[in-house]
Structure formats: structure tokens, C-alpha cells
Amino acid sequence: MPEGKSVLKAQKLLKITLHYADDRIHALQIRGDFFMHPEEDLEKLEKKMAGSVLERGELEQRAKEFLQTTQVFGFDEKSLAEAILQASGKAPP
């Protein structure tokens, strides 16, 4: 299973470790110097993104739906999608 990593400077630093196959996210780890409240929502976001097709529109939509119910300071759905696509090699670093 391919693995990709990316580091994106959005409003804050966003580090992605991505495991994917057949253009779908198998597992995702999101780290960086951003803040999320409540903190345990980060794991929920990672699980929500699992199964997503590596396509900007779907990634942004899933992230946007999730981020409406939590507070995040340092990234938004667009920067998260960009970082994931960079980790997969589908967007330039």
C-alpha cells in the first residue's frame, strides 16, 4: 500500500501521513502546529476522511462537513485537501 507525506504551511503548519490504495484513503494522520477543540476530534476527522476518493471536491466536502461541528485554528477544508493531495502525489508540493 503506497504511503505519502506532505508538509503544508497553511495558516499553521499541517503535516500529513497518508496510506492509500486505488485512489482511496486507507489511513490518514494529521499533525502540525494547529489547534483543535475538542482535541479528540482530530482522531474523528482522520477516521471521517478514511475511505475518501483522492479528489479535491470530495476531500473538501468531507472536511467541511466535519469542521462545522468543531473549532479549528490553523487550517480549513481547502488547505487540508491540498495537503492530502500533495501527500498522494496528485498535487505539486
Percentage above 90 pLDDT, the chain = 83
CA distances from 49 to 1, 11, 23, 67 (A): 17, 21, 13, 12
Rounded to an integer, the average pLDDT of 18-44 is: 95
**CATH of 3-88 among 3.30.390.50, 3.40.50.720, 3.30.200.20, 2.70.98.60:** 3.30.390.50
Res 8: pLDDT? 85
Res 91: pLDDT? 85
38-59 pLDDT, tens digit each: 999 999 999 999 999 999 999 9
Query: Does the global pTM surpass 0.75?
Result: yes
Confidence band of 9 (pLDDT split at 50, 70, 90): confident
